[in-house]
A = this chain, B = another copy of it.
Amino acid sequence: MTDSFGSRLRAALDLRGPLCVGIDPHTALLDAWGLGQDPEGVREFGLRVVDAAAGRVGVVKPQVAFYERFGSRGFAALEDVLSAARGAGLLVIADAKRGDIGSTMTGYADAWLGEGSPLESDAVTVSPYLGPESLRETVTAAVRGGKGLFVLAATSNPEAVALQTARTVDVGATDGQTVAQRVARDVTWPNGSAAFEGALGPIGLVIGATVDRDELGLPDEVLTGTPILAPGFGAQGATPEDLTLRFGTLAPNVLANESRSILGGGPGRIADTIDERAARYREVLSA
């Protein structure tokens, strides 16, 4: 039996700290790095980031869209990047934001979390628009395989606020929960089970560094034992200090994702930038 995703993530966080490096080969960055707008360009980009990240941070997060852009050849490049990252001892969160109903989600779970799958990752991001309960089989599959999920709950982009703060209108005790709160309630149930007691659970949430957790109904007590993947750091405005200011006692369970702030300096600078940024997050946490 392999370790659970939560325990591998805990070990990575304890050893290397909270910085998670995004692997986002978008058009402008490929140009800036002198790489082609083609499968070879995104492969090379990803491998260079992996090379710089290995031994410096615990977790990387490749953005699938920038590989999918090139179809099957882009996916072949992504497979090489995923495999290089895992081979280098990095935990890999595939940022795919997949979301569908039960039987179809099983296809996505097989793709990203299946043992021996060419796209095998340690965790994948998923989207709950078809209802958080529609992810139940995926949650179960992830737990069983020692894998993780990060379910979109409260993202950091301003366009998301209206939808994610909308209130459910069920009758009874759950009346008036926000969408984000309902997502948290309906997907993180394995984290409280005896198997993960006192440890980090396998089912994480995406909660932006800059969101108003009070408005969203996501206070600390709802998130105990839940890994948090937090966009919004770096170029998007949140600073390492926000890790403790915003997340308080939850800060040790937070992955602070930075992409552009690290990648924008070009390939020659990323190792140093990662060292610098990773050290700052560790300092904040140990202060």
Given contacts A71-B118, A98-B97, A155-B130, are A105 and B65 in contact (CB under 8 A)?
yes
Interface size on A, residues (CB 8 A): 62
* Residues from chain B with Cβ under 8 Å of A97 in the complex: 98-100, 127, 129
Stretch in A45-53, A142-150, A156-164, A278-286 touching the partner: A156-164
Taking the nearest CB of chain B, how far is it from the CB of A268, in angstroms? Answer: 24
Whether the pair B119, A71 counts as a contact (CB closer than 8 A) is: yes
Which stretch of A73-81, A84-92, A192-200 is in the interface? A73-81
- Complex Cα distance A68/B162, Å? 31
| Measured CA separation A252–B129 after assembly (Å) | 27
A104 to B104, CA, bound (A): 23
Hey, which chain B residues are within 8 Å of A157, CB to CB? 101, 130-131, 134
Residue in contact with A117 in the complex, picked from B71, B107, B128, B162, CB distance below 8 Å: B71
Interface status of A253 (Cβ within 8 A of chain B): no
CB distance from A186 to the nearest CB of B (A): 9
Nearest 8 Cβ contacts at the A-B interface: A71-B118, A65-B107, A131-B159, A133-B159, A72-B75, A166-B166, A72-B76, A131-B160
A-B contact pairs, 6 of them (CB 8 A): A66-B104, A71-B79, A97-B98, A127-B129, A132-B159, A165-B168
Known interface pairs A97-B127, A129-B164, A163-B179; 8 further A-B residue pairs with C-beta atoms within 8 A, sorted by A's residue number:
A63-B104, A69-B117, A72-B78, A75-B75, A97-B99, A101-B159, A130-B155, A132-B159
